[in-house]
Amino acid sequence: MSRAGAEARSQYGELTSEQQSSLDRAATTQGLSVLQLMEIAGWQVARWVFATAASRGDPVLVVAGHGNNGGDGLVAARHLLTWGLPVTVVLVAEPDRLGELSTLHLGALRALGATVTAHPDGDLPWELVGPAGTVIDALLGTGVRGDPRPSQARAISLLPADRTVSIDVPSGLDATTGTPGTPTVRALRTCTLTAMKAGLWTAAGRRHAGQITVADIGMPTAAWAAAGLTPPTLVRGGELLTIPTDTDGADGIDATTTGAAPPA
């Protein structure tokens, strides 16, 4: 690895799936709940989407799975809705089989009057996908290994590459190796949380992720230490750091802060 590549990994991180899980567990031992991390993650994703979608008034479609990645998407949907964007949510899951946290966030969305439909078979209706100016991929997160399940694969195959943005990693991509499953989302942009994932530094990872933004979600320094990991030097202060897509993931990487402040 070149010196520039090593420096970039030091600045933005290089977490494997196992390291991310260890870090999340360590955060809970430091008094930070998964609910808190999910709320911050979803808020950062919402800020990231709002920065480009607000000026166009884009209708936003959130396609959410049953896990924590889906929970992040539900939180993002709630914030975007309160900031005035038209938001629709599609669950690729049975609503009564969601985890406790996702169920909590789904209830908050419904209380705000959000349009929520469930298509557990992954057969996303074109009347929902077609009008969306931005489609948020919140199906699968960093724990995925191998090919998506049939319902997830069906949903992935229906996401439009020119309008889809992914949370953490494109659904179907192995966050550690960068190996794409069959199928894997081809995203226009990806907002990865806490730090860059190791798989996003690979050529295949970059192709599927599009433009990558790293979002600080307030992971405590003590949690990094407890997990035996070193935090990235630049991912702090609540920033959204965008890594240019015209690099190979190793050399010449720079970052700029992006994102507009949401309405008060």
Residue 33 lies in a domain: yes
Structural domain count, the chain: 1
Instruction: Check residue 251 and give its pLDDT.
Output: 38
Low-confidence ranges of the chain (pLDDT < 50): 246-264
Is 89 part of a structural domain of the chain? Answer: yes
**Both structure tokens of 131:** 């009008």
Establish if 174 belongs to a structural domain: yes
Concatenate the DSSP letters of all residues of 106-136 into one string: HHHHHHTT-EEEE-TT----HHHHTT-SEEE
CATH number of the CATH domain containing 21: 3.40.50.10260
Backbone phi, psi, residue 223, to 5° = -70, -40
In a domain, 262, yes or no: no
pLDDT value of position 57: 87
- pLDDT computed for residue 115 by the predictor: 95
In a domain, 130, yes or no: yes
pTM of the complete model: 0.93
Q: Which domain holds residue 136?
A: 3-257
- pLDDT, position 245: 58
Domain-embedded: residue 152: yes
Supply the pLDDT for residue 2: 80
Query: ∠ at Cα 26 (67, 254), nearest 5°?
Result: 80
The strand pair at 115-118 and 240-243 is best described as unpaired
Q: Which residues are registered as beta bridge partners of 134?
A: 60
Sign of the alpha-carbon dihedral angle for 105, 128, 211, 150: positive
Q: Is residue 142 part of a domain?
A: yes
